[in-house]
A and B are shown apart, each in its own frame.
Chain A
């Protein structure tokens, strides 16, 4: 038995992975190319880290937090004991708190926007390293390095890992899980199955929606009969998985907030759809990169003769979350980020190997074609990413797709210039979150439903905004173009209040970098009105 296991390890770890042959055949014609080729993987991986760092750090603090970032940072600050933010951000909200827990430790030492975002950037870079490891494990270092490079410049990952969101840490945990599943598939050693369980537990703690990848793991094992799992190992792995998962209900129970967690669970399960079914097909492919998707699909087709459990694993990793989230009524831009590493690896596999297959009779040209294809794909990704990193010129940004221009400045103005205990009315909860985070003032979104089934349990509805102003309970009204672009109805209600109470403009934020309009100034994206009863 021991001998068999050693044999497996020996075969799986010491023998060259299929990819080595893919990069090596045809081998460089000259000695120089051979030398370059020998180090190409390392160079490419180093470029991935440098480019990934540069793109993630570029003007990282130019905009303040958007609504979701404010919520997570607010939770972390509350957990760290910040007396001001504890008033506005309950520690327990809709998700488990692995990232908030880590961020709160940092906040205990230093509280800043940029610090929180640097933590996310670090998580993004570790994810890139893990993608390299997964790619190298499955197909060799060349494909691993290229996958890391694709991920490093991919708009989807760059944008999300510049923001204080849960999806960056989630993707790190899911990629770690992918790596461990691959290692188990290669080695059949139960310890990797246990580690997979532990990693899936971390996935849940990072963001419970990522747990859908447990189904991807199951689908992979179900579709790969050659990988046999003993029931005992499966049970042990499940038990190991339950330990981190238990942290969520246990912490809420110990803190006496089990009802809060249940409330969020009910709301998450029954909340209304926030986007149409076309949302993901519309927004995700451009963010991943159409050429990357084409390459991944083309690789599956052209390399179908090489098909192995590796592709089954990656395809399971992609299709299961896509299927589930397409059916799930609630959709968000960053929800499908965990599938991006698998797509990047499949695309890299295609870019490295397909040229040799296509030019089977002219193998000498394969390196050149490979280089051109890689360059085109990388260029297409980098250009789109660069464009997305420029200051937004439209207020109709997707939630989670970037910071909120002017939000931090407005919040800081509010903190400095309005009386403590002032109350603000906004179109929706997004701006309200930002005001509460930066302005330390209570803010209510008009669009928050009075029906508990239709609102985030954290949000308080406005029963009668008019009465709030008349009775002196609210002193300011805040218009923001981002929320206005999402709801005409509540924007009109807000503007009606401004008109009725003769709102006086006390602060304006303009679209940064935008050209002046006919009025002589750039579009106004945030307006703070003062109202008297």
Chain B
């Protein structure tokens, strides 16, 4: 704590740059570079419901159409969803109807009441649909008790991700206040004050377009400010010392190349967010590209790259989320970790949420908690094994199809045939030479005997 205070003083006196290098490198674990990325709108069962060994869809699941059973006894079994073209409702009201006070049987009913196609929620994707995520799970860490922080959509969940609180007092409130998020403290404030380097990377971000809570833009680009909470804080827009850390995602690759990757990196995707109805492939490709670049860089041996989905997107998930306060938890979302210290093929069942990201950062760099939620959250430290030497980088495939099965011929047959054939040929040659040599010796012997006989 005294150390943090000292850093705060130094920062206020303008000595932050000098302190930055030192503060960033003083960590509780070997992780010197932590990257956290937020995708959108998928439940754990939607992506990993059929992943072997994980807490996936129970085998006898059949979601009732009318949970009380008054109008219908029908139910819908989970199914492999393809060519999905809907963005399911994922509001607080939808959560409440699906959750049904912990009964967890309202997933279809919630949509039936909205007059929408209700069965989609039971759809799940398999390894061919999200091959990269499944490959990551095979090689690194999959979290199967990672809950969304709020029982609502993106906005409060992403606020939990950066600040440990929802930013609103009522989860029925949709969208970002016109006044922005005010002076809610964020992890970036703590990092900045402590002289720890950080950046917020946003896909397709163009600072010149000045898209933020004041100027929300139209169409797809408006998602930038909605999904990147820092664009809804006046200080992160107006203070050059802070705003300089909000950059386009291409800067991530440059930072890796130049060895300037900060200690803490937040990443928000826009076009590649995997938000339904978009195809998850774009997001898978982007994350693979980012992880590949990290593995190619010098930062790899001291890095950890974690990503999750901000909310459940209306999709079915069978695990009842613990209710730790009035805001959550929400349903589970897929979350994965790649790091040279990550346990291999490990399914971490520690109860986590978006504030666990904050907890890890705070623990690793010695920062004070921002709010009650992150103070009480579990860290995902269990996913690491710091006793092992850092794992060498191994690029993760985008394909679930294993490489063309290597046909290994029966080596013993090859050895047998070649040994037999070679041995036979060599024996014939040796036999010819030895036989002739012995013939010659016999001939000499008979000559000598003949000569002796001649003498006698």
Contacts and interface: CB of A to CB of B under 8 A. Distances in A.
B260 to A, nearest CB: 14
Interface stretch (A154-162, A373-381, A413-421): A413-421
A262 B166 CA distance: 68
Contact of A202 (B395, B409, B425, B440): B425
Contact of A180 (B396, B407, B413, B429): B429
Contact of B436 (A14, A183, A423): A183
Which of A87, A197, A420, A504 is most buried by chain B, counting CB atoms within 10 A of its CB? A420
Interface in A187-222: 187, 189, 191-192, 194-195, 197-199, 201-202, 205
Contacts of A183: 432, 436
Contact of B407 (A81, A191, A256): A256
A101 B443 contact: no
Contacts of A526: none
Contact of A475 (B296, B397, B407): B296
Interface stretch (B70-78, B239-247, B286-294): B286-294
A332 to B, nearest CB: 24
A254 B439 contact: no
A6 interface: yes
A201 B421 CA distance: 9
Contact of A471 (B285, B406, B432, B439): B285
Contacts of B435: 191
A97 interface: yes
B432 A180 contact: yes
A98 B422 contact: yes
Nearest to B413: A254
A87 to B, nearest CB: 6
Contacts of B426: 198, 202
Nearest to B294: A419
Interface stretch (A111-119, A240-248, A264-272, A511-519): A240-248
A532 interface: yes
Contact of A13 (B396, B407, B428, B440): B440
A183 B435 CA distance: 13
A530 to B, nearest CB: 6
A179 B268 CA distance: 77
Interface string B416-450: 01111110111011011101100110010000000
B422 A202 contact: yes
A198 B407 contact: no
A147 interface: no
A418 B292 CA distance: 10
B235 to A, nearest CB: 33
Interface residues of A, number: 55
Given A9-B440, A79-B414, A251-B414, A201 B395 contact: no
B386 interface: no
B406 A87 contact: yes
Contact of B406 (A86, A247, A422, A423): A86
A247 B418 contact: yes
A251 B417 contact: yes
A475 B418 contact: no
Interface string B285-313: 10011001101100010000000000000
Contacts of B295: 419
A10 interface: yes
B392 interface: yes
Contacts of B422: 98, 101, 202, 205, 244, 247
A160 to B, nearest CB: 21
Given A13-B440, A251-B418, A419 B407 contact: no
A420 B394 contact: yes
A100 to B, nearest CB: 9
A91 interface: yes
Nearest to A471: B285
B393 interface: yes
Contact of A98 (B413, B418, B436, B443): B418
Which of A187, A195, A240, A254 is most buried by chain B, counting CB atoms within 10 A of its CB? A195
A418 B406 CA distance: 23
A16 to B, nearest CB: 15
B428 A504 contact: no
Given A176-B429, A471-B285, A530-B296, A254 B410 contact: yes
Contacts of A79: 411, 414-415
Contact of A10 (B292, B407, B443): B443
Contacts of A290: none
Contact of A532 (B293, B300, B394, B406): B293
A419 B292 contact: yes
Contacts of A418: 296, 393
A255 interface: yes
Nearest to A189: B436
A18 interface: no
A533 interface: yes
Interface in A394-437: 418-423
B248 interface: no
B134 to A, nearest CB: 16
A199 B429 contact: yes
B429 A421 contact: no
B253 interface: yes
A419 B394 contact: yes
A257 interface: yes
B285 A472 contact: yes
Contacts of B168: none
A43 interface: no
A526 B213 CA distance: 51
B428 A240 contact: yes
A247 to B, nearest CB: 3
A139 interface: no
Given A79-B414, A187-B436, A420 B393 contact: yes
A244 B417 CA distance: 9
Contact of B431 (A191, A250, A422): A191
B257 A504 contact: yes
B375 interface: no
A471 B426 CA distance: 54
Contacts of B367: none
Nearest to B293: A532
B398 interface: yes
Interface in B133-178: none
A255 B289 contact: no
Given A13-B440, A255-B409, A421-B396, A472 B418 contact: no
Interface in B339-385: none
B408 interface: yes
B395 A422 contact: yes
B253 A532 contact: yes
A385 B406 CA distance: 43
A317 interface: no
A442 to B, nearest CB: 9
Contact of A9 (B257, B285, B394, B439): B439
Given A13-B440, A254-B417, A255-B409, A192 B432 contact: yes
Contacts of A421: 394-397
A92 interface: yes
Contacts of A101: 414-415, 418-419, 422
Given A9-B440, A255-B414, 5 more contacts: A98-B422, A191-B431, A205-B421, A240-B425, A420-B392
In the A-B complex, list the 3 residue pairs whose CB atoms are closest, starting with the nearest.
A255-B409, A247-B421, A419-B393
15 contacts: A9-B440, A13-B436, A13-B440, A183-B432, A198-B428, A205-B421, A240-B428, A244-B425, A251-B417, A255-B413, A256-B407, A420-B392, A420-B394, A421-B396, A472-B289
